[in-house]
Structure 1
Amino acid sequence: MKNLIAPVSALAALALAGCAAGARLNADAGPATGGRQCFWANSVNGFRAVDDRTVNLRVGVKEVYQLDLIGPCPDVDWASQIAIQSRGGSSICSGLDAVLIAPTSIGPQRCHVRTVRRLTPEEVAALPDAARP
């Protein structure tokens, strides 16, 4: 499992880029089959990039969220750390709420998120090891 930059470390490491990571698991997150599917950025404790457009996040102990990025995010599939920035300081419920930040050889790359979806336990179990955070 790859590491997520801790909120304090992300602030220090990415301060020049004006980045910050946000809060904790949202208590009003709905079931995987309906309702709001939200999480707080600092509840993310691991990730796996499926490719340069899809990233799976481990949130808390059991939940996995899949981020579909608007376009390719260079080097995210090679990154050992990423940061998630909440765009309004609130929980992340949709693609408009978050930006993924990945380090590159020329500095942090801000990758905009198209969709956020919590995977069902069955979908998580079916993930190949390379895609499971």
Structure 2
Amino acid sequence: MRTSIAAGLGLLVFVAACAPTTAPGGSGESTPRAARQCFSANQVDNFRSGTLDQLFLRVSRDKVYELSVAGGCRDLDYALHLGLVADTGASSRFCTGDWARVVVPGNTQRTDVCRVRIVKQLTDAEFEALPAAHRP
């Protein structure tokens, strides 16, 4: 019984996500959703922390994404590696606007887990404007 309820709710969420949206004027015409920029966890080549609430990921050699860190991540500045885990389950695909968790293994302390939001993919000009210490 519980399985069929969960499957029904999952189908309802899936169908609702596919529903067309209307223009703000209410004309009934369908408007395309803004294209979200996405990447897979296995495409991440490097990372650097920016300010206390920023993390930058280099993805597939030529793309850089900005992530916003919610709360302090103690060892992010000194981390040699980290993990990225989707909030939505077992997915390894991350898109702008998504929430995820960064797992930072501690050297002498416990592992730190921080919540992050994928903000945007940086343009070339935004990347060039970053201080050298923040560039992945």
CA distance in 2, matches of 1:75, 1:51: 13
The residue that corresponds to 1:122 in the other structure is 125
- After superposition, the CA RMSD in angstroms is 1.7
CA contact 1:37–1:93 (8 Å) conserved in 2: yes
CA distance in 1, matches of 2:85, 2:128: 27
Segments of 5+ residues of structure 1 without an aligned counterpart are 1-33
Normalising to structure 1: TM-score of the pair?
A: 0.67
Who wins on radius of gyration, i.e. which is larger? 2
Q: 2:116 aligns with which of 113, 117, 130?
A: 113
Q: Deviations along 1:3-53, whole A, 9 cap, x unmatched?
A: xxxxxxxxxxxxxxxxxxxxxxxxxxxxxxx61111111110100111332
Q: Deviations along 1:67-96, whole A, 9 cap, x unmatched?
A: 101111111012121111223233111454
CA distance in 2, matches of 1:51, 1:72: 11
Compared with structure 1, are the counterparts of its residues 113 and 50 closer, same or farther at alpha carbon in structure 2 (3 Å cutoff)?
same
Compared with structure 1, are the counterparts of its residues 89 and 97 closer, same or farther at alpha carbon in structure 2 (3 Å cutoff)?
farther
CA contact 1:52–1:75 (8 Å) conserved in 2: no
The residue that corresponds to 1:77 in the other structure is 77
CA distance in 2, matches of 1:126, 1:71: 25
CA contact 1:54–1:69 (8 Å) conserved in 2: yes
CA distance in 2, matches of 1:108, 1:94: 26
* Total equivalences in the alignment: 100
- Identical aligned residues as a percent: 39
Deviation at 1:103, TM superposition (A): 1.9
Determine which structure has greater relative contact order: mean sequence separation of CA pairs < 8 Å that are 6+ residues apart, divided by chain length: 1
Structure 1 residue runs of 4 or more that deviate by more than 6 Å after TM superposition: none
CA distance in 2, matches of 1:101, 1:66: 17
